[in-house]
Every structure is written in structure tokens, then in C-alpha cells.
Structure 1
Amino acid sequence: MSQFRNNKILIIAPHADDEVLGVGGTMARFAAEGAEVYVIIATKGYPPDYSEELSTTVRNQALVANRLLGTKETQFLDLPAANLDCVPYRDINHQLVEAIRNIQPEVLYIPFNGDLHIDHQKIFSSALVAARPNRINAPSRIYAYETLSETNWNAPYLTPNFVPNVFVDISGYLEMKIEAMAIYASQIQPFPHERSLEALRALATLRGTTVGRFAAEAFVLVREII
């Protein structure tokens, strides 16, 4: 049985589908083992960059995909997608502080600070502000996850490299993760695009064989308080 059984686990996703790409199998496994899993999707697409119809579709897909994985609750913030560099830092901080205070998770998953997308970088920084260890009920474990087409598209050796040191065996939950990602039909791309189901399966297989498992998700431990 998982060490996270009966814990509250929170995944903060900059955009809808990041949570499944990076943590989908882990969410399914820990939910099945008794954890309460929460998801916060931080941004929403606004015209003219994104149509209202697409934004509504993606959010509906997120609810269905996360429900499949056993998520207790999916919350949506309304920060502007692909425009977080135009939002005052304190405003992002405030929204994440409030969200973490309301949920009070023991375990927190956040995007990797070396991701190419600036939204991911901003959410990483603000999540750490919101999860400062001197806050009451601060998370005792924080992990950074990888996101296909963002984490590995940075500039090697010039920006932080994703070098995982925590692996979660998702051998029994890989198919559920693939099924959840397939629900995000608006976001899926044909192979060999990295946001294809084939690429997602390949990454899970690679991470798994790294530690002698059939499938795994990989993370960087940011902080652990024991």
C-alpha cells in the first residue's frame, strides 16, 4: 500500500491536460489506494487566442478525464493561458495561496521550472511561494513533474535539466492514463508528435525500465519534510 494512502494530494496544472501528461498514472494509483486527489487547472484560454467554445470543451474534457482517474475535485482558476508573463506575480501568488490554503494538501505536484513554456515557469514559482514551509499546513512533500513538449524542449545546460530522482510505478495504471489522455481529444496530436498517445506510452515505458518496472512516471523531489 502506498505511503500516500489517506493523504491529500494536489496537482497544479498550468493548462488542462498537463496534469494527465505528467501525473495521470500517479493520480490514478494513489486515488485507488485511498488518497484524496485534487487538481487545480490554473489558466483559461481567452479570445482572440482561444475561442470560448474551445475553452469550454477543454474544461469539460478535463472534468471527465480527471473523474476517470479518481480525482476527488477539479478546480479551475481563470488566469489567462499563454499570457501569465503579463499578470502581476503577486496576483498569481494570491490565487495559489488561497487554493492551497483551502485544500491543505500533504503532497504537492507542480510543473518543472525548466519547462520551455513561461506559464509553467510562473506556476512553479508561485506554487513554491504558496507552499512556503513556514505557512500553517504547508505541504510536506513537493514534486516537480515533466510535461511532454515542454520539459524537454528547453536549452540543455543553459536552463535547468529534468533529472528525476523519484519514480512512481504506474504499471497497473498506464492504460487508465492513456484512456484519460484520449479524452482530451482537442489536445491530442498524431504520432510522432510528442503529444500523441504513442509518445506518452513510450515515455512511461522508458521511465519504468529505468527502475526495473513496466511503466512509471518520473519526478524531481523539490522538498520533503519528515
Structure 2
Amino acid sequence: MTLVSRIARALVLAPHPDDEVLGCGGTMARIVSEGGVVEVAVVTRGRPPRFDEAQADRVRAEAERAHRRLGVARTHFLDLPAAELDRMAQADLNHAIARVVETVRPDTLFVPFVGDLHIDHRLVFDAALVAARPRGEHYPRRILAYETVSETNWSAPTLAPAFQPNIFIDIGDHLEAKLTAFACFESQCRPPPDERSLETLRALATVRGSTVTRAAAEAFMLIREVG
């Protein structure tokens, strides 16, 4: 029995639209293909004057198209202020994340990595662990941190936590679905050699796969698993 076959209901926490596809789009597609349910919570939305309202609407529409491509059952838009989570009370962020975790009741929770450069990612990670505390009967039995190109790899070496994956999920049959989904983010997709390019995502999946003798894989750090 594979890890994916044990996932009946997954919730992916994305600090910003596209993080979820960059980090685990192939895994999401594979879970759905094997009969599991995937829901996504996009935590933030760009707000004026820092972000243009029309651009925020465009990115949301792109996320909805990408999620349809991957078979996401439901997308929760929490609409907290992008690039300003550090100005919120942490308790308010914790409450927002906890509410969606309670609603979805996932057995598996995918979260951004705590060492990512963007502070929104780090704060969402912390809030996720608060929401997923192992109390009572209904809490995620498995928490996996995903890597996000241009965030996970840009933090200061030796000074910030290092992403050292210990879980690799084979996405050889689902890499094209991931790339097609990310291509939906026309406003975010860049030409190579930019990291947020289809070519880079394919290359990363190839490298991650080669470390475990697979054609393509996504890498994760296991934060906790309750058997």
C-alpha cells in the first residue's frame, strides 16, 4: 500500500494562489486519480493599494481553472491580506486556518515549509500546526510540508531551516497534469530560465524523481504522522 492510497481526504494550504500547484500539483492529481478527495485553502488575496484589484480577480480565476484541471473538489478562499499576514494578530490567522481544517476534516494536511523566504509561508505553517494539534478524534493524521520554487530555496543557508525531504511521491503519470494546471496561471508563469517556468517545474520533478529511481516526483518533509 502506498502513501497516496492511504489518503482519503487531503487539504492543501496555499499562502498565495499557485503555491499549491507549484508544491504538490502532481500529488493532488494523483490522489484524485486514486479516489481521494482534495480541497485547497488559498489563504490570502491581494488588496489595494499594495495589489491591483483586477489582478487579484484574475489570479483567483486562474486558480479556479487550475484546480478544475487537477480535480480539486472545493477551493476555500480565506481572503486574508497578501504580504501582510505579519500585521495580523497571530490568533486571528490561527482561527482562520483552524476553521477550514475543522470544516474539511482532512486525514492529510499539506503545508508550506517553515523555512520559506516569504513570511506569509512561515506564518501559515505555524498556524497550520496550531490548527492540527492532535487533540480529540478529528485532527489530521499526517502533515507534509511541500517545497515552493523561488521561496523554499531562497532562504539563507545555515541560518534558516533547510528543506531536507524524506517523502517522495511518484508523479510520473501526473506531471503533465501539474504542468497544465500551472500553465493556467498565465499571470504567474514565466519563460525560462525563471524558476516559475514550466521547464523548471519539469526539471525539478525529474531531479526529485531520479533520487528515488522514478521518472518524476514531488518531495516533502514529514512533519507528523499518527498511525
Q: What's the counterpart of residue 103 of structure 1?
A: 104
What is residue 200 of structure 1 aligned with on the other side? 201
- 2:177 equivalent to 1:169: no
User: Within 5 Å, which residues of 2 pair with 1:1-226?
Assistant: 2-5=2-5, 7-226=8-227
The CA deviation at 1:50 is 1.1
Unaligned runs of 5+ in 2: none
- 1:3 is displaced (CA, Å) by 4.3
Structure 1 residue matching 2:126: 3-state secondary structure: helix
CA distance in 1, matches of 2:66, 2:14: 14
TM-score (norm 1): 0.98
Runs of 4+ in 1 over 2 A off after TM superposition: 1-6
Aligned-partner residue type, residue 49 of structure 2: P
Q: Distance in 2 between matches of 1:129 and 1:110?
A: 12
Given that 1:2 and 1:30 are in contact with CA atoms closer than 8 Å, whether structure 2 keeps it comes out as: no
* CA–CA separation in structure 2 for the residues paired with 1:189 and 1:90: 36
Number of residue pairs aligned between Structure 1 and Structure 2 = 226
Post-superposition offset of 1:219: 0.0
Which amino acid in 1 is paired with 2:15?
P
Q: Aligned partners of 2:99, 2:151: CA distance in 1, in Å?
A: 27
C-alpha distance in 2 between matches for 1:165 and 1:147: 16
SS at match of 1:108: strand
The percent identity for this pair of structures is 53
**CA apart distance, 1:222:** 0.1
Runs (5+) with no aligned partner, structure 1: none
TM-score by length of structure 2 reads 0.97
Deviations along 1:144-171, one digit per CA (max 9) or x if unpaired, are 0000000000011111000000000000
